[in-house]
Structure 1
Amino acid sequence: MTNAPEDFDQSHDALDARDLEIEIDPDFALDEALQETAGWDDEDDPEETSGDLDLAARHALRRVAGLSTELEDISEVEYRQLRLERVVLVGVWTEGTVEDAENSMAELALLAETAGSQVLENVYQRRDKPDPATYIGRGKVEGVREIVQSTGADTVIMDGELAPSQLRNLEDKLKVKVVDRTALILDIFAQHAKSKEGQAQVELAQLNYMKQRLRGWGGNLSRQAGGRVAGGEGIGGRGPGETKIETDRRRINNKIAKLRRDLAHMRTTRQTKRNERRRNAVPSVAIAGYTNAGKSSLLNRLTDAGVLVENALFATLDPTTRRTTTADGRVYTMSDTVGFVRHLPHQLVEAFRSTLEEVAESDLIVHVVDGSHPDPEGQLAAVREVLAEIEAGDIPELVVINKADVADSMTIARLRQREPHSVVCSAKTGEGIAEVRAAIEADLPRPEVEVRVLLPYDRGDLVSRIHDLGEVVSTEHTGEGTVVVARVSDALAGELEPYALVPAADE
């Protein structure tokens, strides 16, 4: 044991320098990170927000290309190196144009890279409908297998949701891991979920997806328990009983039931907060839209929320609600929500229903669309499809065309013509943010009851509430108190009734 340090030094020196090469993210400011770590203070730098800290933590765990995940024995020393999965993308084109198929494959590539993989090849096939046995047909399976062998890929990602039999047949023929679009999106959600509610929602969606796809090698899941396999029961515990797959499915069902109970309690807490806002007649605005359209950036611009912003799909999973005010002093809330995507897995919509209720119960939906995307109309349609599924299709909607600094002017003009009730902005540069704020304030619901009250000077609390929750028309200070003419909610009008003044025309 006395030679261990020398052995370690020798093994360390024996490492090839190429094994230590890593790619540096060009967007990562190394000197700023070092300053923050050392605790340096620069008066010119803005204060760090929670979003900055979340982004730094996420980048600290980013995978690196060219390194391996295997454990290698190097002279009594083991090194584990984290690498990107090498994947091949496969799609089936059943409808639409070639451009639609290419956009779908490009989005699948972004999803794969967000999940932590390196895309080697992508192929898609024109078919009237997917093959019921292998999704892509026998001939294409052989072609994909040749691509996998030539590129050294370890995963194949299919652009669609596979049936359990299709998944099993493809893995048997390709001899590598096969993942469908639903499992890919669930994996991204699992990486990005941070709150307790978000993690429970993702786990619930994953278990619902996994329950239908249980399988094992060599038929071991059809084995019946007995002897020590039966938990050490021995005599009296053998004989016909649950198979392994039945036991696993029962455990999954028990876990699903527990998660649903936990989410029901969390939903009650969220509903209580919404009821309190509704009781005080505080209007709510929900920012919805396609993933990576710039919703979090827009929320930061409008409310200084400081939430995480990253150029990645599904960077935001946990909803953030911030209080803000209009130019005339009315208070309202603005919520950032999870992004949508084409063919959003049904399991996610069900699991995130309590979160999506922030959208369904809002007074106004700010629908953010990426003006620089190749198919912004497709994004609008995909989001509205999900909004209809959660019964939010009838809520007033304001379309915000974001990323105007990099979008094509012809595309913006086409979108403005298609969506008359829309505004254009760039959340990154701040261009058009004033117009967005004015459009939101104009669309907010206005109080219904007009009141004219004389409030004593010792009831300044009521004056403040009128300014916060109502729309003040005029104020006048007299010897008896403050005369306020305003529009307020029914609840606040009831509290003000003892101080009501008879209109001058009726006196």
Structure 2
Amino acid sequence: MESEKEGFVLTNQKEKAILVGCLLDGDEESFYYSLEELASLTHTAEGEVVCTITQKRDRIDPSTYIGKGKLEELKHLVEELEPDVVIFNDELTPSQIRHLTDTLRIRIIDRTQLILDIFARRARSKEGKLQVELAQLEYLLPRLSGRGTELSRLGGGIGTRGPGETKLESDRRHIRRRIHDIKEQLQSVVHHRERYRSRRKKNHTFRIALVGYTNAGKSTLFNRLTTGGSLEENQLFATLDPLTKKMTLPSGFTSLLSDTVGFIQDLPTTLVAAFRSTLEEVREADLLLHVVDSSNPDYLQHEETVNQLLAQLDMDELPRLLVYNKIDQKCSGFVPVSKDDHIMISALSEEDRTRLKIKIEQVMKNLMIPFRAEIPADEGKLLARIKTETMLQHLSFHDETFSYLVKGYMMEDHPLSGILKKYQQQ
């Protein structure tokens, strides 16, 4: 059984791949880590790396990415090892893809196509699938030249062609039409999501979103802080579609926790744009839990990548708590250097998760306003709302006044804030 997607043919057998990377002036350690990450991406896409070649250059060759000598070496390796695909560690230009394909006579894909392929495999919801297809088509459109015969894989059939119209022109027309259709469908999903969010806002539920580099352990943490349901795998991009569940904190206060897609270095711009509506879950959050894998030697780079993407999405001003995860497996030389408030845990430790929940409550209190009020005993409905909609810290009954003393914290714009004013105690 075989299914095809642009950039990668998925079969039951693993495809053999040669990886190619260019080291420009810069951090060698980060470069070799990015190659390791490319190998992990290839593995996630059901590929098998048979060889990796690198070249140190002042700049990338505008025509063939690597130099002529290294290209000749790559050509011999392709003839010797007979791989199914050659994967480049950067996004290639249309002309680079064309020249490399002409020289090597083999399927050429780049890091962006590989990530898009993984996203296409992992998307489960209708929205996720539409967003991935949109990203694939927007990536493909400027790269159509010379590749018209491959396009029926993505398009699902080309429409009737007019007199004198070439296949390439009709492919462009078909893809632009499909992009327009997908954007319209996604717009209706966005409206539905906005209505859902406005209902949550009306209920004044405190919203928390998990963000972080892919494979940082967000889904493992999500499943153990809530009733679960998010896919846990030791693979890149195990979670694509956002999932939101209730999380009960030690005080009994209930908040909503969302698990989101993992970020990655050089995340394709088409994907950032396509998943903007999904990441609105992050934008609407009252608090971000930024999860960092402390067992990864490149944890600082991961932390910075997430910070940069949050800034790109205009989400860098949101309150956040940094959660260094997998601390039981932390890499040698690990030192938390962030200025953000942080905590070090293992998502698998119940004790650590309890510490995290207590820490979340402390951070939440700083984002709320305190209240102290004396509620008459016959105000049962109001007392019930206080118990479920605020972070109640103290509740005691006074016989002499036949009333309840309540103390706690609530969101400043919560409707209860105005109601409690008449029962407020100094």
Task: Give the TM-score, by structure 1 length.
Answer: 0.75
Greater displacement, 441-450 / 459-468: 441-450
Give distance in 1, aligned partners of 2:383 and 2:159: 71
Residue 48 (structure 2) aligned to one of 108, 112, 118: 118
CA contact (8 A) 1:453 1:484 kept: yes
Counterpart position of 1:88: 18
Counterpart position of 2:397: 476
Greater displacement, 418-427 / 288-297: 418-427
- 1:215-226 matches, within 5 Å, as 215-216=145-146
Larger Rg computed on CA atoms: 1
Q: CA deviation at 1:159?
A: 0.3
The structure-2 alpha-carbon separation of the partners of 1:230 and 1:404, relative to structure 1 and needing over 3 Å to count, comes to: closer
2:237 maps to a residue whose letter is F
Counterpart position of 2:6: none
Residue 191 (structure 2) aligned to one of 268, 288, 291: 268
Give distance in 2, aligned partners of 1:192 and 1:501: 52
CA contact (8 A) 2:370 2:407 kept: no
Residue 448 (structure 1) aligned to one of 351, 364, 369: 369
Counterpart position of 1:310: 233
SS at match of 1:444: helix
The structure-2 alpha-carbon separation of the partners of 1:164 and 1:451, relative to structure 1 and needing over 3 Å to count, comes to: same
Q: CA deviation at 1:486?
A: 4.6
The structure-2 alpha-carbon separation of the partners of 1:341 and 1:231, relative to structure 1 and needing over 3 Å to count, comes to: closer
Residue 78 (structure 2) aligned to one of 141, 148, 152: 148
SS at match of 2:327: coil
Residue 353 (structure 1) aligned to one of 239, 259, 276: 276
CA contact (8 A) 2:297 2:331 kept: no
Residue by residue over 1:352-394, the C-alpha shift from the partner in whole angstroms, topping out at 9 and shown as x without a partner, is: 0011111122111111111111211010111111100111111
Counterpart position of 2:154: none
- 1:242-257 matches, within 5 Å, as 242-257=165-180
1:398 equivalenced with 2:321 (yes/no): yes
CA contact (8 A) 1:322 1:335 kept: yes
Greater displacement, 385-394 / 435-444: 435-444
Counterpart position of 1:328: 251
Q: CA deviation at 1:449?
A: 6.5
Task: Give the TM-score, by structure 2 length.
Answer: 0.89
CA contact (8 A) 1:288 1:339 kept: yes
1:174 equivalenced with 2:104 (yes/no): yes
Residue by residue over 1:70-125, the C-alpha shift from the partner in whole angstroms, topping out at 9 and shown as x without a partner, is: 9xxxxxxxxxx721110000011113222111101000000001001110000111
Q: Relative contact order, CA 8 A, sep 6+: which one is greater?
A: 2
SS at match of 2:277: helix
Counterpart position of 2:155: none
Counterpart position of 2:383: 463
Counterpart position of 2:5: none
2:261 maps to a residue whose letter is V
- 1:35-184 matches, within 5 Å, as 82-184=12-114
Give distance in 2, aligned partners of 1:365 and 1:487: 19
Give distance in 2, aligned partners of 1:352 and 1:495: 38
Unmatched tracts of structure 2, length 5 or more:
3-8, 151-157
2:283 maps to a residue whose letter is A
Q: CA deviation at 1:492?
A: 2.4
Counterpart position of 1:371: 294
1:335 maps to a residue whose letter is S
Q: CA deviation at 1:196?
A: 0.8
The structure-2 alpha-carbon separation of the partners of 1:436 and 1:346, relative to structure 1 and needing over 3 Å to count, comes to: same
2:423 maps to a residue whose letter is L
SS at match of 1:135: coil
SS at match of 2:244: strand
Give distance in 2, aligned partners of 1:136 and 1:389: 30
The structure-2 alpha-carbon separation of the partners of 1:385 and 1:480, relative to structure 1 and needing over 3 Å to count, comes to: same
Give distance in 1, aligned partners of 2:340 and 2:408: 32
SS at match of 1:315: coil
Residue 421 (structure 1) aligned to one of 328, 341, 354: 341
Q: CA deviation at 1:451?
A: 5.4
CA contact (8 A) 2:372 2:405 kept: no
Give distance in 2, aligned partners of 1:123 and 1:262: 42
The structure-2 alpha-carbon separation of the partners of 1:471 and 1:434, relative to structure 1 and needing over 3 Å to count, comes to: closer
1:210 equivalenced with 2:140 (yes/no): yes
The structure-2 alpha-carbon separation of the partners of 1:475 and 1:274, relative to structure 1 and needing over 3 Å to count, comes to: farther
1:433 equivalenced with 2:363 (yes/no): no
Give distance in 1, aligned partners of 2:303 and 2:65: 28
The structure-2 alpha-carbon separation of the partners of 1:428 and 1:328, relative to structure 1 and needing over 3 Å to count, comes to: closer
Counterpart position of 1:200: 130
Counterpart position of 1:20: none
Greater share of residues in strand: 2
Counterpart position of 1:37: none
The structure-2 alpha-carbon separation of the partners of 1:491 and 1:371, relative to structure 1 and needing over 3 Å to count, comes to: closer
1:310 maps to a residue whose letter is E
The percent identity for this pair of structures is 39
1:454 maps to a residue whose letter is I
CA contact (8 A) 1:476 1:483 kept: yes
